[in-house]
Amino acid sequence: MKVEFVQKDFTETAGDGLILALTPGDLEPVSKRDNTPRLAVLFGDNGTEIERALKGSDFSAEKNQLLTLYSIGKYRVVLLVGLGERSQLSTEKLRRAAAAGVKAAQAAKSNSVVLSALDPTIEQVSDYDTVHSLLEGAILAAYKFDKYLTADKKKTRVEQFTVAIKSIKSDIGKKAARDAGSVCDAVYLTRDLCNAPANEIYPEALANVASKIAKKYHLRARILDEPEIRRLKMGGLLAVNSGSARPPRFITLEYRGNYRSRDWYAIVGKGITFDSGGISLKPAANMGEMKMDMSGAAAVIGTMQTLASLKLPVNVVGIAPSTENLPGGSAYKPGDVVTTMSGITIEVDNTDAEGRVVLSDGLYYAQRYRPKAIIDLATLTGACVVALGQHATGMFGTAEDIMAQLKEAGEKTFERVWQMPIYEEYEKQIKSDIADVKNVGGRWAGAITAALFLKRFVGDYPWVHLDIAGTAMLEEESDYAPKGGSGVGVRLLTQFFKQAAS
């Protein structure tokens, strides 16, 4: 994948396809005397073709409108994409316009595109955000998981992305392009991990990916195997793993971007590489989607790559306890009592509530870093999907300032979060008669009781839990995320740490 910015007008740049994001104002006449659309004038010698095409269509640059033209100047295909009214322009509208353009370009079998927008339009958005947003939308929309398709079944994918806007200074544009490329590369990695089948990505394989990332980006990796996990008495991870023939792994990646600071953040991701439900077996329908139950761990690995690539001045440890949850002969059972690394005991009421059992050890381990905050990501509950659908991540926690910053980061990236309550009245639902806590709280408020379960293992450290069950595993594609693994969390956390660094 090649990503670049050039300080040139789009008419001075050659490419297979041109994606031009426009507002209705860009189509207005040059003057009262001259009815030629402003856009047509910009195309110079090819302006007549543009004017004719506009008059022969109903394209008015309203949001989501798309007009495809062929053989205009240096471009084989030109895609005019509507942004809607200029006064309401946002970074998200730029992303979606670029995404729509790339999908149309791929349908037209283009493998390289130039993206641009006109100066009056982009005055509403900073130069950096303009370039970054156009590239984000375009690159993320171009993603396809086609590894297992034979060559003749693979569709054309755009591999080269160039933003050409003459009014944006080269240094700003190039930095935005580099940053966008780094972020999108990490989202691609995260999506690939989530979409890969469970016979390819299992705990040891996930740990190997993390080790390779650490080596490439100069992170410090520590991968705990089963004997080390037993030595640390990580009873939650071992219990969930007990039914699987594949051993567990406990993954840690450290990024130290600010040697002058002793502050650390910890991000913890649920890494269930396949979740059958264990003895409390899930229904067969759609069980294959449970290869994505490690989306939290994948997002942690992707985020760690991005932090190192962008060289952000923050210190972050990424933690990912990983196992399969299978109903083998030695599998843990409803009614079992599990002793976790913290010493807290869990009564197992349902083996399909395994993510929180595994995270109990991950969250407790995070306390070793005396973190400024602990943030966990997990495809934890169907209840959160019922509550918020697939457009918002459920957010729970004890750190109001961190949650406010995450909400701001969510609005910026459009990986939006919504704060949910964790009132103490809900705690009685996870009260056990024979252990310190029960791993399910009954039918009502399932996402809340799951969050309250996790709260037991973070001590007094500021903590935020992100339930990404709805946003990480998509039932249908969105503007720039595919059906399946969305890679959610990487862009959100990267923006959060950008804010923290500043």
Whole-number Å distance between alpha carbons of 390 and 472: 8
Q: Give tens-digit pLDDT for 336-357.
A: 999 999 999 999 999 999 999 9
The string over 374-405, giving b where at least 16 C-beta atoms fall within 10 Å of a residue's C-beta and e elsewhere, is bbbbbbbbebbbebbebebbbbbbbbeebbeb
User: Residue 263 CB: number of other CB atoms within 10 A?
Assistant: 15
Matching residue, tokens 């009260």: 431
Q: Give tens-digit pLDDT for 197-221.
A: 999 999 999 999 999 999 999 999 9
Where are any strands of DSSP class E within 234-299? 249-256, 265-269, 271-275
Q: Give tens-digit pLDDT for 416-427.
A: 999 999 999 999
Alpha helices, DSSP H, located in 64-145: 91-107, 119-122, 127-142
- Domain with residues 201-501, CATH architecture: 3-Layer(aba) Sandwich (3.40)
Q: Give tens-digit pLDDT for 219-237.
A: 999 999 999 999 999 999 9
Range 2-188 has CATH code 3.40.220.10: yes
9 DSSP 8-state letter: -
Region 38-51: mean pLDDT is 92
The residue type found at 89 is L
Name which of 375, 393, 386, 382 is nearest 353 in CA terms: 382
Evaluated on CA atoms 35, 38, 42, 46, the torsion sign reads negative
* pLDDT over 90 (residue 438): yes
Name which of 498, 488, 244 is nearest 384 in CA terms: 488
* Identical fold, 2-188 and 201-501: no
2 is catalytic: no
Contacts of 213 (CB under 8 A, 6+ apart): 189, 219, 253, 301, 304, 305
Matching residue, tokens 């923006």: 495
| Structure-block tokens of residue 305 | 């790559």
Q: How confident is the model at residue 502 (pLDDT cuts 50, 70, 90)?
A: confident
Region 397-407: mean pLDDT is 98
Q: Give tens-digit pLDDT for 72-106.
A: 989 999 999 999 999 999 999 999 999 999 999 99
Give the active site residue among 191, 356, 372, 412. 356
Name which of 242, 481, 265, 217 is nearest 370 in CA terms: 265
Instruction: Give domain limits for the chain.
Output: 2-188, 201-501
Q: Please report the pLDDT score of residue 14 as a whole number.
A: 83
Name which of 20, 73, 19 is nearest 43 in CA terms: 73
Residues forming a β-bridge with 418: 394
Q: Give tens-digit pLDDT for 409-418.
A: 999 999 999 9
Q: Please report the pLDDT score of residue 64 as a whole number.
A: 87
Residue 342 phi, psi (nearest 5)? -75, -15
* pLDDT over 90 (residue 406): yes
Q: Give tens-digit pLDDT for 302-337.
A: 999 999 999 999 999 999 999 999 999 999 999 999
Q: Please report the pLDDT score of residue 33 as a whole number.
A: 84
Q: Sheet holding 437-438: strands in order across?
A: 337-339, 345-347, 437-438
Whole-number Å distance between alpha carbons of 118 and 106: 23
Q: Give tens-digit pLDDT for 468-484.
A: 999 999 999 999 999 99
Half-sphere exposure of 390 (CA within 13 A, CB side): 14
Residues forming a β-bridge with 396: 465
Q: Give tens-digit pLDDT for 101-127.
A: 999 999 999 999 999 999 988 998 999
Cβ atoms of residues 289 and 473 within 8 Å = yes
Q: Please report the pLDDT score of residue 32 as a whole number.
A: 79
498 is catalytic: no
pTM of the model: 0.97
Q: Give tens-digit pLDDT for 126-138.
A: 999 999 999 999 9
Give the active site residue among 282, 407, 455, 498. 282
